[in-house]
Structure 1
Amino acid sequence: MSPTPQIELPQQQILPFSLGNRLFDDGQDSNNTNSPTFVCDDQPSWLSRLFFMLNEKLVVNFTPVFFASVMGTGICSNILYNFPFPAKWLQVCGIIFSVVCLVLFLSLTALMIFALFKDSHLWYRIHRDPVHAPAMGCFVMGFITLVNMLHSLTEKSWIYAVWVLWWVAVFGSVYTAFLTFFFSVVGKHRKRENVLKTSNISLAFLLPVVTLTVCAALGGSICPDLPKLNMKITTMVLSFVMWAIAVILAFIVVLVNFWRMFVHKIPATGQVFTMFLPIGFLGQGAYAILLFGRNCVEIIMENSNNVASSSYTSFLHEAANSHNQDLSNLPVILSTALLATSTMFAASLMAFGYFFTFLAFASVLSKMQPFARKPNTQHIYDGTEGNIVQRLFSGFLRFNRGFWSMTFPLGTMSLCNGEMYNLYKGMEAFRYISTIYACILISITLGCLCGVAYNFVKMVITSMRPATSKEMV
C-alpha cells in the first residue's frame, strides 16, 4: 500500500499593515518575471496603508528639518502683511499664511513630541547628531516668526504677552546656538560619532546660529512698543549681544565652508539648497542692526533732555564736566553716530547677501538641465515616463524638503531692503529690491506648499492602489 502523499499548504505571511494576510502562489520562483501576479484576498484597507506610510515618513523618520515649512510660511505671512507696497488684500493673504503657519507649527510640534515618546534615541539625535541636531534651529525660528506676526496684528495691545514670548524665544535661541551647536558640531563624543570628513562639512551648521539674529530682530521690532525705558534698553542691549555673537560665529562657519567648496566644490545635488542658508544670517543680521540703529535714535530723541545727565551716559557727562565742555548737542551726535554705524554694518551684510543670492541660484541651476551635462537622474524629473507633473517639469530638480531652504533666507533679504528704504526714503531702489525678493519668496513658498500637497495626494493614490503579491512579499 503506497504512502499517503503529503500536501504542503502555502505559508501565511505577516505584513506590517495587519496580521494574517494570505498570499497566493503558483509554486514557481517568485523572481521569475513570467509568473502570474495575484491580488491578495485579504488586503488591509487603504486607510491602514496610508496610516502606515504617514507613520513611517513623519514619526519613525522624524527630523527637525520639517519645521523649515513653518519658517517659510511664517516669514511669508509677515512680509505679505507688511508689504513694501501695502494693500488690504495683501494683509488678508498674510493672515491666511499665518494661519497655515500656526497649523503647521502645532501639527509638527505634536508629531515631534509623539516621536520623542516613541523613539528614545531621537532626543540624542536632535542634540548630538551633526546631521539632525543643527536643524533644531528651524523649530526656534518658526516659533519666532509666529511671535513676530502676533506683534504685527496686536501691536501695543498685547505687548506684555509678546515680550514674554520674546524671552521664551531668547531661551530657545541661546539653547540651540550654544548647547546644540556645541554638542553636535564641536563637542567630542566618546564614540566619536560626530567626527566629520572635510567633504561632509555643511552650511547647515548655520541653522542653530541664525536663531540669534532672528531673535535679535524680533527684539528690535517689539522694542518701540514697550512701555518702560528699562524694558526697551534691556531688550536692545540683549538683542545686540545676540546679533554680535551670531554674525561673528556665522562668518566663521561660512569661512570654513568656503574652504570646503574650494577643495570639493559646491554641494552635491541632494544638498545644493543649503547654499541659500548664508543669505539668512546676512539678511536677518542686516535687518536686526538697522532696527537697532532706528531704536537708538528714537529712544535718544524721546529722552533728549535727560541724555546728558542720564546714568547710561555717565562717563560722557563726567568727562565733559571735568573739561568744561557743553553736551547740549549730545543727543544729535549720538543718534547720528549710532545710525550711521548701523547702516554701514547693514549695507555690508546686504551686499554680501546679494552675492550669495547669485551663488545659491547659480549652484541650483548648475544641477539641472540644460546647464548640467550629466545631471543626477535620481534628483531630476524624467519627462519620458511618469505622470503629467513629471513631464511638465522634465529636467527640473525633484521636489524635496530641501526646497524650503530657499524661503526664509530670501525673506530676510526682503526685510532688510525694506527697512533700509524705511530709514532712507530717498533710496527708492531698496523698496523695489525688497519687492523683488518678496515676490520670489511668495512664489517659492506657494510652490513648496503645492509640492507638499502633490506628495500627499501621490501617497494617498499609492495607498488606494491594490497591493499585488510582488509588492507585498
Structure 2
Amino acid sequence: MGYFMLCERYHVSFKMILKDQNLNVFLGCEVMGLSTIINMLYYLRPRWYIATYVLWWINVTLSLLAGWGITFIMIGYNKFSMKEANATILLPCVTMTVVSSTGSLISQSMMNRPGFQLSQDIITFLLWSNAVILATVLICFYFNKLLLHGLPAKEVIYTCFIPIGILGQGGWAIQLNYKNLGNLIVNGSGLKLLNLDVGFSEEYLQTISATLNILGICVALFLAAFGVCLTALSFLAVVYCGRPPVWIRTMWASTFPLGTMALSFNEMYLTTKLTGFQVISTIYSVMLILITTYCIIGTVLFDVPYKDICNIIRSSKKE
C-alpha cells in the first residue's frame, strides 16, 4: 500500500520505475519485505504452515522476476557507464538468497510431508546457487568500478555495505538447507525419496547428517570470511569520506547486511556451540540495533513530510 501511495505522490508509474536504472533495482526490496512477513508468520503462527508455504511460492516467483528480469533490463535496456554503477545492482539477485533462506526456514514445518520438504530443499538450493553465482559476477564488476573510479560519493557511501548482505544471507540459507536435508535423511526417509536407500544403519544416517552440517558451516564460513572483510572495508570507506551528513537515506543500506551476518554466525553457534561465533553474532547484532535505531530516528525527523501532511489536514478542514 505504501508503495502505491509513493507512486501517486511522486506521479510515477510502475513502467517508469522499471525503466529507470536508479529505481528498478529497489524493486527487489519489495520481495525481501514479503520474505520478512513470511518469516514472521512462521514464528508467530506455526500452524499456518500451508499459508506460509503458498506465500513462499508466490515469493519465489517474484524473486525470479526481480533476479532475472531486472538483471536483464540492466543489461539490455539500461545504459550506464562504469563510473555510475554502485552496489545497488546487487539488490535484485539478493532477493533469491532471502527467499532461499525463508524456504529453508519454513521447510522445517513440512516434516510430516517428506516429499514436499525434499522438493522445497531442492528449490531453495537452486535459488541459493543461482544467487551466489550471479552475485559473484556482479561483485567482480563492482570491484572493477571501485578500482578504476574510486569510492562512491559521500551521499551513497553506505551502499558499500550491500555486498555483505548476500554473503551473510547466503551463509544462513545454506546452513539451514543442509541442516534440513540432514534431518530429512535421518527422520524422514530422505534417501528413499531419492532412491538411494540401501539399508543404511541409524548410525550411518547420523554420520551423513553431521557431514551435511559440517559442509554447510564450511560454505557459510567461506562466505562469512569475505563478509567480515567487506564489513571492515565499508567502515573504512565511511571514515575515509569524512564526517557524513547528520542524516542521509542511504544509511538504510547498511542495516540489512549487518543483520544477515548476525544470522549466519548465530546459526553457526547453534550448530557448533562455539562461543566465538556467538560473540561475532552479538557484535553484528549490536551494530544492527544501533544503526537501525539511528535510521528510524533520522527518518522520523527528516524524511516525514510534516508540512505536506499539515497542509492536507488544513485543506480538508476548510472544505
TM-score strictly above 0.5? yes
Q: 1:174 aligns with which of 44, 59, 64?
A: 64
Aligned residue in 2 for 1:349: 223
Equivalent position amino acid for 2:5 in 1? L
Aligned residue in 2 for 1:406: 254
User: Partners in 1 of 2:28 and 2:41 — Cα distance?
Assistant: 20
SS in structure 2 of the partner of residue 195 of structure 1? coil
User: Partners in 2 of 1:248 and 1:409 — Cα distance?
Assistant: 18
User: Partners in 2 of 1:238 and 1:339 — Cα distance?
Assistant: 19
Q: Deviations over 1:155-214 (max 9, x none)?
A: 2x111111111111111111100112111x111x4xxxx211111122111000000000
Aligned residue in 2 for 1:460: 307
User: Partners in 1 of 2:305 and 2:115 — Cα distance?
Assistant: 55
Residues 130-141 of structure 1 aligned to structure 2 (within 5 Å): 130-141=21-32
User: Partners in 2 of 1:162 and 1:457 — Cα distance?
Assistant: 33
Deviation at 1:237, TM superposition (A): 0.6
Equivalent position amino acid for 1:170 in 2? V
Aligned residue in 1 for 2:75: 186
Residues 239-254 of structure 1 aligned to structure 2 (within 5 Å): 239-254=124-139
Structure number with greater Rg is: 1
TM-score w.r.t. the length of structure 1 is 0.62
SS in structure 1 of the partner of residue 100 of structure 2? helix
Q: Deviations over 1:211-242 (max 9, x none)?
A: 00000000111111123111111111100000
User: Partners in 2 of 1:110 and 1:198 — Cα distance?
Assistant: 32
Q: Is 2:114–2:190's contact at 8 Å kept on the other side of the alignment?
A: no
Q: 1:283 aligns with which of 168, 171, 174?
A: 168
2:248 pairs with 1:336: no
Deviation at 1:462, TM superposition (A): 11
Q: Is 2:83–2:149's contact at 8 Å kept on the other side of the alignment?
A: yes
SS in structure 1 of the partner of residue 195 of structure 2? helix
Q: 1:248 to 1:175 in 2, by over 3 A?
A: same
Q: 2:115 aligns with which of 205, 217, 230?
A: 230
Aligned residue in 1 for 2:159: 274
Deviation at 1:112, TM superposition (A): 4.6
User: Partners in 2 of 1:218 and 1:270 — Cα distance?
Assistant: 32
What RMSD, in angstroms, separates the aligned Cα atoms of the two structures?
2.2
Aligned residue in 1 for 2:240: 366
Deviation at 1:333, TM superposition (A): 4.2
TM-score w.r.t. the length of structure 2 is 0.90
Residues 52-201 of structure 1 aligned to structure 2 (within 5 Å): 106=1, 108-112=2-6, 114=8, 118-119=11-12, 122-155=13-46, 157-183=47-73, 185-187=74-76, 189=77, 194-201=78-85
Q: Is 1:210–1:281's contact at 8 Å kept on the other side of the alignment?
A: yes
Residues 305-324 of structure 1 aligned to structure 2 (within 5 Å): 306=189, 310-314=192-196, 317=198
Aligned residue in 2 for 1:441: 288
Q: Is 2:115–2:193's contact at 8 Å kept on the other side of the alignment?
A: no
Deviation at 1:411, TM superposition (A): 0.5
Percent sequence identity is: 31
Deviation at 1:339, TM superposition (A): 2.0
5+ residue gaps, structure 2, are 312-319
Q: Is 1:203–1:257's contact at 8 Å kept on the other side of the alignment?
A: yes
Deviation at 1:436, TM superposition (A): 1.4
